[in-house]
Amino acid sequence: MITQRAFSVEPWTVRETELNLDVLAQSESVFALSNGHVGWRGNLDEGEPHGLPGSYLNGVHELHPLPYAEAGYGYPESGQTSINVTNGKVLRLLVDDEPFDLRYGRLITHERTLDLRRGVLERVCEWTSPAGSTVRVRSTRLVSLTQRAIAAVAYEVEPVDSRTRVVVQSELVANESLPGPDGDPRAARALKSPLEPEEDLASGSRLRLVHRTRRSGLRVAVAADHLVTGPERTTTSSESNVDVARLTITSVLEPGERLRVEKLVAHGWSGARSRPAMSDQVEAALAAAAHSGWWGLLKDQRAYLDDFWARADVEIDGDEEIQQAVRFALFHVLQAGARAEQRAIPAKGLTGSGYDGHAFWDTEAFVLPVLTYTAPKAAAEALRWRRDTLPAARERAAQLGLRGAAFPWRTIEGSEGSAYWPAGTAAFHVGADIADAVVRYVAATGDEAFEREVGVELLVETARLWRSLGHHDDRGVFHIDGVTGPDEYSAIADDNTYTNLMARANLLAAADACKRHPDEAARLGADEEETAAWRDAAEAVHVPYNEELGVHEQNAGFTRYQRWDFDRTGPDQYPLMLHFPYFDLYRKQVVKQADLVLAMYTCGSFFEEYFDEEQIARNFAYYEPLTVRDSSLSACVQAVMAARTGHLDLACAYTTEAALMDLGDLEHNTRDGLHIASLAGTWMALVAGFGGMRCVDGGLLFAPRLPERYSRLAFSVGFLGRCLRVELTAGQATYTLRSGPPLTIRHHGSEVTVREEAPVTRPVPPLPRRPAPSRPPHRAPNAR
């Protein structure tokens, strides 16, 4: 784990100024590059040493048996695991016959820099071989945001003080040796060398490998081309076999001379296309990249990111570490979804193998809100992927005896991949999270074509699930029993408040969408009788409330459970699920991650009648001492609601925890990949928390509160074709419409109309005075 600051604090870069092999895997995650389709971990160019090799194509996975002690009806039979595809990053170097390996010889300097504005990873180092030859190596790496299949490396070698013979071996490598998956030996066997060779080629400076996965039947093609610049005596040769294609470049360099290799790598995969078609596909992608050239790729990358930062940047004065962290967060959230294009956004993006590369509800609940207001096309594509997986979701619902669509708890290709049935079967709120993301996207963009072509079907099929899952009691109250909400320490509960309110919003949204799009409703067989039943269920949904305590219950009866004995829980016993049986957790008042608090944040915009400001304050004060944050999804939500209830110092602490989750390796597992949802939560904490932004009744509402730690907070959001800039300073908020027609918003309840180039400034009312809530012992925010 990272035990001290590993990266210098700078506003637009993440810089590592020395190489620490003990935390190499963590740095590889931080320095990962991706465009949502291709992902390259930040491995060293030479391939070794490494923490975890990683080259990923979004959606490429292998199947493996799922372990069960006892069989049960409806259990998924196969698990899905993303695999390490053909690695095109490798550029091995030999210096006077000595391998360039930083574990040997003497490393004089080593610096790597992730440039968030240019979208590149740069490296410069000096190394003296065991034989005494000193060389300087520079490299720049990118995964193109404009050419979806392309990643590229520019690699330079120069001798420092003497004539040096150098050899560069540029490779494509398949079936690299990897650490085995934990726990299940059957999975380890299934995933060992998952790529079966179909074609290998080495011709001149061009390399190509084509493989197919053994069980899932997916074909993967990777090709590379090179531009070599060096002294006249530079020579090249190429060769290939089933798992390696190699271009060998040999030169003799005098001090002041350089050998430069520009390597373009094209990637493609398909479950249906033939081997010749896949070969042609990657060759065509290489041709397009060669037309742009290395410098053209760099220029296009910068232009893409200039446009993104103009729409998405968040500026903070007063905390340089958070300024860096929020830009790092936005960059990686963008990378996770920018060119995913009808594929999932995994929980780790394409930065590591954690969670087997699966996507969860995190995508819709945490990541898509950020993308909706900063890169809406990416949000739409993620939802199109959900629409494309509807056949599997319908099949799963039918298997469970339900109507509509039951979306999976965790998946890569659309079927349920969880062997843990309290989540994999009972976490039905995933469907409502998807519906919420549809509603948010349409409200923010006005994209009626998307709603008609994609949104209506998602809303209808998820509404059908709720109507068949729930039931009316003899008093007409609608209940949804036996479900698992966001808090995984309270599984198989009745009337989870988050689930019920999200289901209510889903049912109403589906009925409204059918009214707006009657032709689509008719195509789906959703008639007036069915939509009326949805509305009846929504209006009658039960929301558990303890009248004596004056607080909402996380689920029915939660407030009567025995409280967890925090006094007898030591600091080394967190996370609790690794030290106590789930049975004990399920029946106690202890919360893994914000659940009822998340309901106030997400559903409060729809149902303000349940959550006025005083009710929110009481609920927050009740659940804060119970919430142990054994999930990286919790801190950002608690930050938002702490800010809303006036506890700004606490909100700052939670914001810092979310922001530094990976830069500080707070959960000691950044080596497996970044926490994309927690990174997205950094934006949520700042924009929805301190900025107080919510979308209510199709319009934007702001209730900003600036903590003393920050002297200024500014951010931009895209809304209905406009770009709105919000700037907070002590005691006031200024709204500037950067582009688009006039926009009417609400500022602390009062309407404000903003016009282009005519900023409007409004005062921020004083904070309410409330007692600070307590927290569980040993669970103060894990900040700096």
Q: Which helix (H) or strand (E) holds 56?
A: strand 55-57
Between strands 164-173 and 91-95, the pairing is antiparallel
Query: Does the annotation flag 593 for ligand binding?
Result: yes
Tokens matching residue 394? 């319908």
Please give the Cα distance from 642 to 627 (Å, whole number).
Answer: 13
Cα-Cα-Cα-Cα torsion 318, 322, 324, 328, nearest 10 degrees, comes to: -150
Question: Which strand (E) or helix (H) includes residue 534?
Answer: helix 528-540
Q: Of the listed 62, 341, 488, 657, which one is catalytic?
A: 488
- Is residue 317 a known part of a binding site? no
Residues 28 and 32: their CA atoms lie apart, in Å, by 6
Tokens 């069915």 belong to 530
Query: Residues 247, 170: contact at Cβ < 8 Å?
Result: yes
CA dist 668 and 140 (Å) reads 28
How far apart (Å, rounded) are the C-alpha atoms in residues 271 and 86?
A: 16
DSSP reduced 3-state for 596: helix
State the CB neighbour count (10 A cutoff) for residue 194.
25
Residue 564 assigned as binding residue: no
CA distance 510 to 445: 18
Contact 771, 726 (CB under 8 A): no
CA distance 311 to 300: 17
| CA quadruple 607, 613, 615, 621: dihedral sign | positive
Q: How far is C-alpha 775 from the chain's CA centre?
A: 28
Task: Check if the beta carbon of residue 712 is closer than 8 Å to that of residue 317.
Answer: yes
Residue 21 CB partners (closer than 8 Å, separation 6+): 49, 102, 103
Q: Give the C-alpha separation, 742 to 178, whole Å.
A: 55
As beta bridge partners, residue 594 has none
Give, for 267, the enclosing helix (H) or strand (E): strand 259-270
Q: Which burial class, exposed, middle or buried, applies to 443 when counting CB atoms under 10 A from its CB (0-12, 13-18, 19+)? A: buried
State the residue for tokens 């202890």: 590
3-state SS, residue 337: helix
Give the integer Cα–Cα distance in Å for 748 and 742. Answer: 19
Query: How far apart are the C-alpha atoms of 93 and 317, rounded to whole Å?
Result: 44
In 420-517, the DSSP E strands lie at 471-472, 478-479
Q: Do strands 562-563 and 551-552 pair parallel, antiparallel, or not at all (unpaired)?
A: unpaired
The answer to whether residue 488 is catalytic is yes
The Cα 196–Cα 220 span in angstroms is: 10
Distance of alpha carbon 603 from alpha carbon 622, whole angstroms: 18
- Asked whether 725 and 707 are in contact (CB, 8 A), the reply is no
444 contacts 373 by C-beta, under 8 angstroms:
yes
Amino acid at 470: G
What DSSP string describes 64-102? Answer: EEPP-SS--TT--SEEEEE----B---EEEEETTEE--T
Q: Taking the CB of residue 660, how many other CB atoms lie within 10 A of it?
A: 24
Return d(Cα 100, Cα 91) in angstroms, integer.
Answer: 10
**Burial annotation 489-499 (CB, 10 A radius, 16+ → b, else e):** bbbebbbbbbb
**Contacts (Cβ under 8 Å, ≥6 apart) of 534:** 463, 466, 467, 507, 508, 510, 511
- Contact, 382 vs 337, CB < 8 A? yes
> Rounded to whole angstroms, how far apart are CA atoms 281 and 648?
53
Q: Binding site annotation covers 269?
A: no
Contact 645, 692 (CB under 8 A): no
Query: Which residues are known binding-site members for substrate?
Result: 361-362, 592-593
Catalytic residues: 488
Query: Which residues are known binding-site members?
Result: 361-362, 592-593
